[in-house]
Amino acid sequence: MEILKCTVNGRPAELGVDPRESLADTLRERLGLTSVKKGCEVGECGACTVLVDGVAIDSCIYLAVWAQGKSILTVEGLRDPDTGELSDIQKAFVEEAAVQCGFCTPGIIMSAVEIVGSGKQYTREELRKLISGHLCRCTGYENILNAVERAVNTAHGFVGKES
Amino acid sequence: MEVGKSAIRVDAADKVSGGAKYTDDLIPRPHLVAKLLHADIANGVVRAIHTQEAARLPGVVKIVTCFDVPDIQYPTPGHPWSTETAHQDVSDRKLLETRVRYYGDDIAAVVAEDEVSAQRALKAIRVEYEEYEPLLTTQAATAEGARPIHDERPNNVLASMDLRTPMPESDFKTVEDVLACPAYHQFEGHYQTQMVQHCHIEPAVSYAYMEGGKIVVVSSTQIPHIVRRVCGQALGIPWGDIRVIKPYIGGGFGNKQEVLYEPLNAFLTRAVGGRCVKLELTREEVFQNTRSRHAISFDVKAAVDGDGNLMARWVKAVSNQGSYASHGHAIVANAVTGFRQLYLDQLGCHAEACTVYTNLPAPGAMRGYGIPQGDFAGECMMEDIARKFGLDPYEFRLRNIMPLGYVDPFNGITCHSTGLRECMEKGAEFIHWKELREKYQNQTGPVRRGVGMAVFSYKTGVWPISLETASARMVLNQDGSVQLQLGATEIGQGGDTVFSQMAAESIGFPLERVHIVSFQDTDTAPFDTGAYASRQTYVTGMAIKQTGEIFREKLLRYASEMLERPTAELDVRNGEIVDAATGEQVLRMYDLAQESFYSFRRTEHIAAESTHQCKDNTFAFGACFAEVEVDIPLGKVKVLRVVNVHDSGKLINPKLAEAQVHGGMSMGLGYALSEEMKFDAKGRLLNGNLLDYKLPTAMDQPDLTALFVETDDPTGPFGNKALGEPPAIPVAPAVRNAVLHATGVAVNDLPLSPQKLVEKFTQAGLIHNGR
């Protein structure tokens, strides 16, 4: 066992982990963050995507000990901490009917957080490439792309107003 | 009106925030882990299994081999049970097998404290086999002297059928006579589909434990009540001793319309004294050890008169069933029936179908249930006939499609409504059919474009081939809202949302006052056979509508007592009791509910439950149009635009309907262009993972357009018909026909992969010296 100290969804965490253990297992089994889904456990499907220091990674092929001192974000950390309201990105997924079985959804939303966080505008083709690490069998990606596009536009609209 | 609105999914907020719980999210921790030992031969017998060394390893709790399980063969498909022996599903599988029938067959299971211990134990088990030659093709399995894969079927033929429609009075006695008549255009063709996998992103997973003398199985399944029955059958125990709980599931597409490992999981928990055991498959096991879509081979013949009328057709379909019966012959039977129903033959149709056991992993139900295969054959055939005899493929189809009022001569399924013509018109308009057919007619050069189309019909549910029954329960809450409880399952399709809309509509409540219980627990959920056959909005919808009306009557009776007015003067509108004549609110539902629960005068816990046995069926229709660009030297097909137009009757939730169509179209594009399970000569799956198996990513497809023609079906509870499966049906033949239009090359087997296309284009002389 090794001691892992990191930040998870904005709160400090300190816990014992097996040095062979994946970050996906740590988040699911030790912290109860079950939004981190396991669809293949070899980095093919993208369902386990979380952000580590703002970068989307497949947590099933990322050792927990690599997260030492880092900040981890999952969809459980996206709601407004005070009001519990869904974030704009989550709302975009809800309103665009981008959710069906919901198993790939948390992972794609985390990639969308990274995409929106980049502060850039993207063409639809670029967005296709950016989410192509996620496999989804329910949606044909159509409404997912609509949701990501909307989230990007919402973020930029907001930035535009502020500046 | 709550029905017909694009309401937000009732589970969406939970699913975007980690609140929605799936099977593996709910398992009590810590728990035991079960792992399976798979045979590494495709055909043979296990002579001995040596487990002593494995059993001594740390963390190992129990090892069960094929010599330790009950000698009970059980059925696995998610069909309603039949009380008539002749109509029961084929029982040809045991919990673990000494007779190895495919590479990867389950021969032992290890239960351990953790996954690593279980994996180590698997490696330490030694197996002795008697090995036979693998029979991988239907030809090999039916060859003279081929060894039976199941003793009950010595010739390896699971089932066959031969259906001839009644012929009208004419000079022709049989379909064969028509197909030999020189006065007609005569066509012959051969089409072949491949084996593909569902690829739901949540693997197959369950866990089981014992409580109160019962075995509780929590499983990712489309069919909890059927899982209960089959667990009971497989273990030889009363069905009531099994309790199945179904949480949210991460996709099913028919693979979870099968009882997969739940019976073994139930057996294993009992073998360890009822401790909680998890049985989760790896992605590689999902490919190898769960179901897939059948590869079916079609031979077809057709006779067409000079005006383009289909006079007669013959089809012979041979389905490779792999190692176990699963849904068995039902799928190829559906394939040839769908082939026949879509078009009306002036004189007759003769369909033969045969299902053959082989030593491959067993296919089963998958979105469309044989119709994607049959539609590929049928719609390639229609295109090829049109091309051969100089007919317009659009007009040729239109002339022959199933007419309103059509009655199937065998099962009586009737065309109560059809918008197929309008679907074709709408799709053609969207894609600019006429203009592009002309524009792309005479192209040269390495990159060429084409447009293609395909149409389909699809029945709604399984009546009268099988039973259709559903129950619903509604319970008034203390605040005047209603709980809706069903045995029908949400599997990602949006069932819970449309069920809630239908309940709201039938009671007279606003949607937000309907609280659906999403999870099924077979001890408390009403009976329903589950999610398959695109049946739930139709069949379960009827139960909801009927129960809603009963519930509404009960509310009105109680209101009439409180108000001392006759029920006929009252109504439920927007969730309140109103004066039926003026619409004025006369009693708040909140007050009615409070009175009904807490009154000293007379309490009544208002609830309604009813069963609806559906004894009808109806056809849904649709069309797909695709525009492609083919890079001939690379064998690469780029789909530029694609549209599906559906007649699924009235839409309960247009936005969710559209989303469901997108998903089916994507599945159809994968079927057309890239997906295929590949095996080596030993029967070993070569690409059983999500890297080597080419499921479409967001980069592999264009924007998907879903359009609708809303007929109002007289049999649907709200005018609605099947929608769930149909979107996956017409895409592959439409793409194939577009490639034919672009290049003049007819590819008659799926998928249209680059390797295959380069070979075909080379044969056709479009590629010379590799260029």
We report the CATH number of the domain holding residue A148 as: 1.10.150.120
Q: How far apart are the first and last CA of chain A?
A: 49
The average confidence (pLDDT) of chain B is 98
Which residue among B22, B662, B703 sits closest to A103, beta carbon to beta carbon?
A: B22
Cβ distance of A90 and B16 shorter than 8 Å:
yes
Domain boundary (B265, B280, B295) is at B280
Per-residue confidence band for B1, with pLDDT thresholds at 50, 70 and 90: confident
Distance CA B631, CA B757 (A): 10
B21 neighbourhood in chain A, CB within 8 Å: 34
Contact B518, B485 (CB under 8 A): no
B261 and B237 both lie in a single domain: yes
Distance CA B506, CA B186 (A): 53
- A29, closest residue in chain B (CA to CA): B29
Which residue among B18, B249, B662 sits closest to A34, beta carbon to beta carbon?
A: B18
Cβ distance of B704 and A40 shorter than 8 Å:
no
Cβ distance of B658 and A47 shorter than 8 Å:
no
A69 and A109 both lie in a single domain: no
**What integer pLDDT is reported at residue A159 of this predicted model?**
52
Q: What is the CATH number of the domain that holds B219?
A: 3.90.1170.50
A71 and A100 both lie in a single domain: no
Query: For B367-411, what is each residue's pLDDT tens digit?
Result: 999 999 999 999 999 999 999 999 999 999 999 999 999 999 999
A97 and A69 both lie in a single domain: no
Domain count, chain A: 2
Cβ distance of A101 and B251 shorter than 8 Å:
yes
For residue B190, is it within any domain?
Answer: no
A122 and A101 both lie in a single domain: yes
Contact B61, B113 (CB under 8 A): yes
Domain boundary (A12, A47, A76) is at A76
For residue B23, is it within any domain?
Answer: yes
For residue B382, is it within any domain?
Answer: no
Please give the full DSSP string across B196-214, using - where no structure is assigned.
B----SSPPEEEEEEETTE
Nearest CA distance, B1 vs chain A (angstrom): 20
Domain boundary (A43, A76, A109) is at A76
A57 and A6 both lie in a single domain: yes
B600 and B627 both lie in a single domain: no
Domain boundary (B280, B311, B344) is at B280
For residue A25, is it within any domain?
Answer: yes
**What integer pLDDT is reported at residue B769 of this predicted model?**
74
For residue A117, is it within any domain?
Answer: yes
Cβ distance of A140 and B13 shorter than 8 Å:
no
Nearest CA distance, B148 vs chain A (angstrom): 36
B641 and B730 both lie in a single domain: yes
Per-residue confidence band for A158, with pLDDT thresholds at 50, 70 and 90: low
Distance CA B558, CA B24 (A): 44
B576-579 β-sheet, strand order: B570-573, B576-579, B585-587
Which residue among B16, B20, B698 sits closest to A93, beta carbon to beta carbon?
A: B16
A8 and A67 both lie in a single domain: yes
Is any Cβ of chain B less than 8 angstroms from the Cβ of A49?
no
For residue B354, is it within any domain?
Answer: no
Count residue pairs from A and B with Cβ separation < 8 A: 175
B211 and B88 both lie in a single domain: yes
- A99, closest residue in chain B (CA to CA): B12
Helix, strand, or coil (residue B531)? coil
For residue A81, is it within any domain?
Answer: no
Could you tell me if the ipTM is greater than 0.85? yes
Query: For B503-559, what is each residue's pLDDT tens digit?
Result: 999 999 999 999 999 999 999 999 999 999 999 999 999 999 999 999 999 999 999
A51 and A101 both lie in a single domain: no
Per-residue confidence band for A161, with pLDDT thresholds at 50, 70 and 90: very low
What mean pLDDT do residues A85-100 have? 98
What mean pLDDT do residues B42-70 have? 98
For residue B305, is it within any domain?
Answer: no
What mean pLDDT do residues B111-117 have? 97
Nearest CA distance, A115 vs chain B (angstrom): 15
A84 neighbourhood in chain B, CB within 8 Å: none
A71 and A102 both lie in a single domain: no
- B21, closest residue in chain A (CA to CA): A34
Domain boundary (B592, B613, B634) is at B613
For residue B286, is it within any domain?
Answer: no
Distance CA B606, CA B476 (A): 6
What mean pLDDT do residues B282-297 have? 98
Strands B44-50 and B126-131: antiparallel
Query: For B688-738, what is each residue's pLDDT tens digit?
Result: 999 999 999 999 999 999 999 999 999 999 999 999 999 999 999 999 999
Residue A163 has pLDDT above 50, yes or no: no
B10, B22, B199, B201: best to mutate for the A interface, most A CBs within 10 A: B201
Residue A160 has pLDDT above 70, yes or no: no
A34 and A9 both lie in a single domain: yes
A63 and A109 both lie in a single domain: no
Cβ distance of B251 and A103 shorter than 8 Å:
yes
- By C-alpha distance, which of B300, B291, B351, B299 is closest to B321? B291
B282 neighbourhood in chain A, CB within 8 Å: 41
A144 and A124 both lie in a single domain: yes
B599 and B499 both lie in a single domain: yes
B521 and B564 both lie in a single domain: yes
Contact B56, B121 (CB under 8 A): no
**What integer pLDDT is reported at residue B121 of this predicted model?**
98
Please give the full DSSP string across A67-122, using - where no structure is assigned.
GTT-EEE-GGGTS-TTT-PPPHHHHHHHHTT--SS-SSHHHHHHHHHHHHHTT---
* Residue A55, CA atoms < 13 Å, CB-side half-sphere: 5
Query: For B575-621, what is each residue's pLDDT tens digit?
Result: 999 999 999 999 999 999 999 999 999 999 999 999 999 999 999 99
Sign of CA dihedral A23, A24, A30, A32: positive
Per-residue confidence band for A162, with pLDDT thresholds at 50, 70 and 90: very low
B667 neighbourhood in chain A, CB within 8 Å: 137, 140
A66 and A126 both lie in a single domain: no
**What integer pLDDT is reported at residue A156 of this predicted model?**
84
B632 and B583 both lie in a single domain: no
Nearest CA distance, B163 vs chain A (angstrom): 36
- By C-alpha distance, which of B406, B408, B401 is closest to B416? B406
Domain count, chain B: 3
For residue A82, is it within any domain?
Answer: no
Nearest CA distance, B657 vs chain A (angstrom): 10
State if pTM tops 0.80.
yes
Q: Which residues span the domain enclosing B82?
A: 13-132+204-280
For residue B609, is it within any domain?
Answer: yes
- B247, closest residue in chain A (CA to CA): A101
Cβ distance of B12 and A94 shorter than 8 Å:
yes
- By C-alpha distance, which of B606, B644, B638 is closest to B625? B644
B690 and B559 both lie in a single domain: no
Q: Please report which residue ranges of B186-320 form alpha helices under DSSP H.
A: 224-235, 262-271, 283-289
- A93, closest residue in chain B (CA to CA): B16
For residue A102, is it within any domain?
Answer: yes
Q: What is the CATH number of the domain that holds A72?
A: 3.10.20.30
Query: For B442-486, what is each residue's pLDDT tens digit?
Result: 899 999 999 999 999 999 999 999 999 999 999 999 999 999 999
B9, B10, B17: best to mutate for the A interface, most A CBs within 10 A: B17
**What integer pLDDT is reported at residue B173 of this predicted model?**
97
B428 and B527 both lie in a single domain: no
Backbone angles phi, psi at B426, to 5 degrees: -65, -40
B633 and B550 both lie in a single domain: no
Q: Which residues span the domain enclosing A26?
A: 2-76
For residue A107, is it within any domain?
Answer: yes
**What integer pLDDT is reported at residue A43 of this predicted model?**
97
For residue A141, is it within any domain?
Answer: yes
Cβ distance of A102 and B494 shorter than 8 Å:
no
Percent of chain B with pLDDT over 70: 100
Domain boundary (A45, A76, A107) is at A76
For residue A161, is it within any domain?
Answer: no
For residue B646, is it within any domain?
Answer: yes
B199 neighbourhood in chain A, CB within 8 Å: 135, 137
Q: Which two tokens stand for residue A48?
A: 């386990």
Cβ distance of A35 and B17 shorter than 8 Å:
yes
Residue type (1 letter), B236: G
Q: What is the CATH number of the domain that holds B632?
A: 3.30.365.10
B285 neighbourhood in chain A, CB within 8 Å: none
Which residue among B11, B18, B662 sits closest to A143, beta carbon to beta carbon?
A: B662
Residue B761 has pLDDT above 70, yes or no: yes
Cβ distance of A101 and B201 shorter than 8 Å:
yes
